[in-house]
Amino acid sequence: MREIKFRAWDKQGNNFVQGSYLCTLGHRDKIMHVCGVIDENDDVASETDGIVLQQFTGIYDKNGKGVYEGDIFDTQHYRGEIVYSVDIGAFFVNKDEERYFLGALALQGEVIGNIYENRELLEVESA
């Protein structure tokens, strides 16, 4: 079974928020979408408060590092952002509007940063 976990980026604080993550997507005929972080003070911050939740893909790179949405992934051939495709139901490396399925690539590449702290890495071509 794939491990379900998240990390959260605080747009206002410009940092990753540590805490417990909660996500409720739906309930029978009533659709709800509550995603957020519960910090050590039991305060809840949600996406409406400037929190961006990023899900763990369940995949590790060639160095054993967990890969999350929003990570910058680098291989010998290309570099791109990890994104989730709702229409296909899978995680991809997105490079210049082209998508490469992450699954098998994970053993060939590595996480070198994320789009919030290291966006400039997307502008640099991989070696």
pLDDT in tens, 18-76: 666 666 555 555 544 556 667 666 666 666 667 788 889 999 999 999 999 999 999 98
Q: For residue 124, is pLDDT > 50?
A: yes
Domains identified in the chain, total number = 1
Q: Is residue 1 part of a domain?
A: no
Distance between CA atoms of residues 69 and 10, nearest Å: 15
Classify residue 102: in a domain, yes or no.
yes
* CATH code of the domain containing 49: 2.30.30.290
Chain centroid to CA 31: how far?
23
Structural domain range at position 39: 6-123
Residue 36 lies in a domain: yes
How many CA atoms lie less than 13 Å away from 57 in the CB half-sphere? 29
Question: Do the domain assignments include residue 17?
Answer: yes
Nearest to 89 by CA among 61, 57, 59, 117: 57
Residue 108 located in a structural domain:
yes
H or E element at residue 4: none
CA–CA separation, 71 and 118 (whole Å): 9
Q: What is the pLDDT of residues 79-112, one digit of tens each?
A: 999 999 888 889 999 998 888 888 877 888 999 9
Contacts of 91 (CB under 8 A, 6+ apart): 57, 59, 67, 69, 82, 83, 84, 85, 101, 102, 103
